[in-house]
Structure 1
């Protein structure tokens, strides 16, 4: 039997990503034991019941003791406080990583607390569903998805080990500069989520359309918006506040494109609209060809308590 990559892993925060990591690590034999921490007793009990953790603890400090790998899976805005709490209890030589969708702000919040000899390797798995909580995870969430690492000057052996973990869970792994990561994610994730929240908000405020009509006549496009807008509000609040510059930059570019389309519609410029939609359809085809359009199974059953 192949030895596990990590003897003991600590998951701090037990939502969709952490629970999916727990399931995936157990399925592939990547960790000998998995400890977990969440703020609420309800979440901790659910993690034990589902079985992706071997032990759970009421404090993050207790959970990380003796851990070879610590995964910070809490909202981005809480990363700094958690890092300060666990720092005195980290095992020398341990690796600390995170799964936040913003990297520069996480590095600024976490890195100052890391003691000498601990390897801090920020990460971000590009995977998820609109569901959250300890019951929403599943072992195949990361298969053929990308995990971006922003290791900076971290120890190459520690980086290689973490890379092997993600690959063992089915992910493709790439390294990236933190600032570039935040810009890329502002395009591919953050701004689209903001637009989805906005579109659902427009429908909510459009008093000429009743709530029953919105639900009854939802077409595919609006259903997709509502699915995206169902994502965890605490997580997305922190994302927008911590990736402010990149998101505002991309949002400004989106507004310029929207004005251009408005003008084309107003002027009846069918040729411009057809050319624009043809170019954008090619991007969709590229996503499908890259295998990044596989819908995640609907394993979510509950809304998450705060991690």
Structure 2
């Protein structure tokens, strides 16, 4: 009889068990090759109580310092604007050789805020990650074990990140079912500005536009909403605090993409105004081609 191989981590800590954090816990709870012991930490008593009820962690803590003391890996799953604040709390309590990660969808400002903290703790490896997966729901009940299946997880390791730590985080996300790629923080933020942040900005805005219409027309919008508008409202149902932080922390890349979009939208409007069928058809065909590419790449 052969011994079972040791898990990737002895103790894995998730700070902020919302959609992403609770999905990590669910996957790791179902696959004990990931971690022998799972710890969830949250400042909200209601969230802690619900995580305990769901049974997706072996321990639930209110104090992040107590939660991380024996951790081999700590993943911070809080809004972007709070990541460095949480890191400042837990870094002094983490043991040498442990790995600190986070799952924010903006990296440049996070790295700028983290750099002075990390310089004081050279024995802690910092490996930022961004799983490109999610829904419009939030909280511990929103998570599910297959959330990351066949989705991309983008890693943005700082220069000098120890190879074993990077390998561990890569393996973690592969065990979550994700496809993993490394890139710089600057490239990450520009990519996410167009594929994620701008679509959310447009969804919030178009729903606001509909809500600002005269009462009679607004009621008809809500009564007769077609699939296109319903798709926008699904995105617009996302967590306000999280998206406020994303917009403000990735403002330069997002505003650049917004300017490009406005120029393209105005060009499309001009084509409609002047009856330029070639431009209209070309834009529609390009959209269809992108949709087909997403389906072929298993991202739709």
Q: Please tell me the TM-score bracket, short chain as reference.
A: over 0.9
**In structure 1, what is the equivalent of residue 198 of structure 2?**
191
Is the contact between residue 103 and residue 129 of structure 2 (CA under 8 Å) also seen in structure 1? yes
Q: Name the SS of the counterpart of 2:299 in structure 1.
A: coil
Match of 1:258 among 262, 265, 268: 265
Provide the rounded CA distance (Å) in 1 between the counterparts of 2:236 and 2:195. Answer: 15
**In structure 1, what is the equivalent of residue 88 of structure 2?**
84
Deviation at 1:2? 3.1
Q: Name the SS of the counterpart of 1:135 in structure 2.
A: helix
Provide the rounded CA distance (Å) in 2 between the counterparts of 1:249 and 1:15. Answer: 30
Kindly indicate whether residue 101 of structure 2 is the aligned counterpart of residue 116 of structure 1: no
Provide the rounded CA distance (Å) in 1 between the counterparts of 2:90 and 2:61. Answer: 13
The correspondence of residues 56-71 of structure 1 with structure 2, limited to 5 A, is: 56-71=60-75
**In structure 2, what is the equivalent of residue 51 of structure 1?**
55
**In structure 1, what is the equivalent of residue 220 of structure 2?**
213
Provide the rounded CA distance (Å) in 2 between the counterparts of 1:196 and 1:258. Answer: 15
Q: How many pairs are equivalent? A: 293
List per-residue Cα deviations over 1:199-255 (Å, max 9, x = no partner): 000000011544432222110110000000000110000001000100000000000
Structure 2: any 5+ residue segments left out of the alignment? none
Provide the rounded CA distance (Å) in 1 between the counterparts of 2:207 and 2:5. Answer: 49
> Which stretch shows the higher mean deviation, 188-197 or 84-93?
84-93
**In structure 1, what is the equivalent of residue 232 of structure 2?**
225
Q: Name the SS of the counterpart of 2:36 in structure 1.
A: strand
Provide the rounded CA distance (Å) in 2 between the counterparts of 1:190 and 1:199. Answer: 14
Match of 2:107 among 100, 103, 121: 103
Provide the rounded CA distance (Å) in 2 between the counterparts of 1:236 and 1:219. Answer: 25
Provide the rounded CA distance (Å) in 2 between the counterparts of 1:59 and 1:45. Answer: 14
Is the contact between residue 29 and residue 57 of structure 2 (CA under 8 Å) also seen in structure 1? no
Q: Name the SS of the counterpart of 1:32 in structure 2.
A: strand
Q: Name the SS of the counterpart of 1:151 in structure 2.
A: coil
Kindly indicate whether residue 152 of structure 2 is the aligned counterpart of residue 146 of structure 1: yes
Q: Normalising to structure 2: TM-score of the pair?
A: 0.95
Is the contact between residue 203 and residue 209 of structure 1 (CA under 8 Å) also seen in structure 2? no
> Which stretch shows the higher mean deviation, 116-125 or 48-57?
48-57
Is the contact between residue 14 and residue 77 of structure 2 (CA under 8 Å) also seen in structure 1? yes
Structure 1: any 5+ residue segments left out of the alignment? 294-307
Q: Normalising to structure 1: TM-score of the pair?
A: 0.93
Larger RCO, structures 1/2 (Cα 8 Å, 6+ apart): 1
Provide the rounded CA distance (Å) in 1 between the counterparts of 2:35 and 2:106. Answer: 26
Provide the rounded CA distance (Å) in 2 between the counterparts of 1:133 and 1:210. Answer: 34
Is the contact between residue 111 and residue 120 of structure 1 (CA under 8 Å) also seen in structure 2? no
Match of 1:20 among 19, 23, 46: 23
